[in-house]
Amino acid sequence: MEQFLSIHQGAVVGTLTMFDRIIFKGYLTRLFMGKAFEVFLSKQGVLLKNFGAYVEQTTAELKTDVKKLAQQAGRPYVYLDSAVTKAKGRSKEDLARSIAEADGITDGLICILATVETCSSFGVRKNPTTQKLAIERQRRKCLHFYFYYFDAEFGFLPIRLQSWFPFTIQVYVNGREWLGRELARAGIPAERYENAFLQIADLAAAQALGDHFAHREWPRVLDALARRVNPKLALVENAGFGTYYWVIDQCEIATDVMFHDRARLLDILPDLLQGALLAFSAQDVLRFLGRKLHGNFQAEVTSDLKKRPEGWRVKHFLAGNSLKMYDKFSVLRIEATINNSREFKVLQVTGDERRWVPMSKGVANMWRYYQVALQANQRYLNALANVQLKGEAVRELDDLCRSQTKDGKRFAKFNPVAPADAKLFAAAMAGEHLLNGFRNNDLCARLYDGPSADPTEANRRCARVSRLIAKLRGHRLVAKVKGSRLYRVTARGYRILSAALGYRLHQFPEAFQAA
């Protein structure tokens, strides 16, 4: 990452690495082991033949409790009789936000949405071998509750609760929403655009907060949220089957490179997107995500470029995980998304033994998620430092081919591949002019085959060359030496004129022959 920042240090404000979107899931895992659920039913005095009636009653009680929660908060409980998804052009989140905006809700419960969706639950079936009833795991449909809060700590907070045993729960947390509230509490000014920070007054303090986020006692935080929405959790805990086991179902960790303004980002963004798509090989993507190519490697690596309403993004996929790059106004975002945690290793310490093992999804590995994603983002940025930036050259070429106005005077455009202009460029850059510069007569000697015997023609030539020198000055390719009649090619002029001559004499003929 330091290589990229050193190259673009004049355009970059700073960087911030932070969790973005995180989806936590909670499972009452002690109900899953062996005949644990049968034991739980037994403790409730429920026979297997009465399983259906018991769980339906429990779900009905939970539904009543959830409606009461909405009623006590004075917020709506809305049943959705059809799926509301982004694929259909709208989402439950959009609906909740519209309710909050319409009702002016900025704190507490916004609404509760209920809808029927598929889930993993328990059922009772007769064992064909023993001819006895037995509990089995099965897929089914049941009611799910979507709680939407404006939380004092996490901001907009959706929680999804399954109404049927085993009450699986899902919590969505946005790390940058949390950071924004923490910065406000600390009195640190920050400029924000959607889910990105364009500028932060104290970047070091913001980064320290981001690092702390990964070290929080997440089981305790998530348990508190679960108790807020699931009154039946106490039933399971009192029966001795513990609380939720929390996992990171999916998370995004993004490194934001904040530019001074959008124009400076757009100067390099097209080249970065093209380089990331065309220059980065499958082996590079493996390296970014901490993997090595070997003979037994079987996963698929893909890369694609997509145009979105808000801009372009390039994305690389590997074994369920991904790396992507996109822009958020004046922010260049490199984002690692981890779905398949077992692609990464975590250090396991057992007594005196220390070994690297595949990483599980448990929230105990939150810091390791952050670490491997940060390393992936840094490798990606360092690779971007080697991308050849062509945007500046294209802009300079465009300027050369446009007329320019200086001090109210208009100067005609150049044609870099025209013989006359190429001859002028070569004359201005002649080696003997490097030390002292050139005069009108010096260019005349190079632009014309010999001196003119006719005084009128000589004056005409001198006037024409004067106009050409003025044109070169108007395009900022040459500058007058102070206190003399000499002119020198500027540093910008050397870059542009040499590039134009090189293209006409070398690149174009080579490309023509290869075509």
**SS3 labels along 208-262:** HHHHHHHCCCHHHHHHHHHHHHCCCHHHHHHCCCCCCEEEEEEEEEEEEEEECCH
- Retrieve residue 276's tokens: 């990331």
Cβ atoms of 227 and 233 closer than 8 Å = yes
Tell me the whole-structure pTM to 2 decimals: 0.79
Where among 335, 357, 389 does a domain terminate?
389
Specify the DSSP class assigned to residue 504: I
Query: 382 to each of 6, 170, 313, 330, 351, how far by Cα in Å?
Result: 10, 36, 18, 20, 38
Give me the phi and psi of 6, to 5 degrees please: -70, -35
In a domain, 101, yes or no: yes
**Alpha-carbon span 306 to 325, nearest angstrom:** 11
Question: Are residues 410 and 331 part of one domain?
Answer: no
- For residue 32 the two structure tokens come to 């899953």
Encoded tokens for 298: 């079987």
Q: Tell me the HSE value of 280 on the side-chain side, using a 13 A CA sphere.
A: 34
Listed as ranges, residues in the chain with pLDDT below 70 are 83-89, 295, 391-392, 515
pLDDT of residue 295: 65
Residue 221 lies in a domain: no
φ, ψ dihedrals at 22, nearest 5°? -130, 135
Whole-angstrom distance, CA of residue 285 vs CA of residue 323: 8
| Residue among 104, 166, 363 nearest 245 (CA) | 363
Domain assignment present for 440 = yes
Q: 189 and 157 in one domain?
A: no
Residues 253 and 304 in one domain: yes
Q: Report pLDDT for 259.
A: 94
- Establish if 206 belongs to a structural domain: yes
The CA-based angle 36-42-46, given to 5 degrees, is 125
Q: Which residues lie closer than 8 Å to 362 by C-beta, 6 or more apart? A: 245, 246, 247, 248
Q: Do 133 and 148 lie in a common domain? A: yes
CA angle 70, 74, 75 (to 5 degrees): 55
Q: List Cα–Cα distances, 494 to 32, 260, 476, in angstroms.
A: 74, 28, 11
Q: For the chain, how big is the Rg over CA atoms in Å?
A: 34
| φ and ψ of 228, to 5 deg | -65, -35
Within 10 Å of residue 504's Cβ, how many Cβ atoms? 18
- Is 379 a domain residue? yes
How many Cα atoms occupy the beta-carbon half-sphere of 436 within 13 Å? 7
Please report whether residue 239 resides in a domain. no
Write down the pLDDT at residue 206: 95
Model pLDDT for residues 316-325, shown as the tens digit of each residue = 999 899 999 9
105 is written with which tokens? 């809700």
Read off the pLDDT of residues 428-458 as tens digits, 9 standing for 90 and up: 988 888 778 899 999 999 999 888 888 888 8
pLDDT of residue 88: 58
297 with 412, same domain? no
pLDDT of residue 35: 86
CA distance 415 to 422: 8
Helix (H) or strand (E) holding 506: none
Contact 180, 155 (CB under 8 A): yes
Quickly count: other Cβ atoms within 10 Å of residue 63's Cβ: 15
DSSP 381-400: HHHHTTS---HHHHHHHHHH
Q: How far is CA 19 from CA 22, 181, 191, 286, 500, in A?
A: 7, 14, 18, 22, 46
Q: How many CB atoms lie within 10 A of CB 255?
A: 22
- If asked whether residues 262 and 304 sit together in one domain, one would say yes
CATH number, domain with residue 439: 1.10.10
Cα–Cα distance measured from residue 212 to residue 61, given in angstroms and rounded to the nearest whole number: 39
Whether residue 238 lies inside any domain: the answer is: no
Within this chain, do residues 207 and 331 fall inside the same structural domain, yes or no?
yes
For 20, 21, 262, the CA distances from 197, given in Å and listed in that order, are 12, 15, 13
Taking the C-alpha atoms of residue 250 and residue 407, their distance in angstroms, rounded to an integer, is: 59
pLDDT, residue 74, reads 94
Rounded CA-CA distance 441/451 in Å is: 10
Range of the domain at 489: 391-514
Instruction: For residues 122 and 182, state if they share a domain.
Output: no
57 lies in the same domain as 183: no
Together in a domain, 250 and 351 = yes
Q: End of a domain among 332, 362, 389?
A: 389
Q: Are residues 206 and 297 in the same domain?
A: yes
**Of 339, 362, 389, which one is at a domain's C-terminal end?**
389
Closest by CA position to 272, among listed 381, 405, 175, 356: 381
236 assigned to some structural domain: no
Same domain, 208 and 340: yes
The tally of domains found in the chain comes to: 3
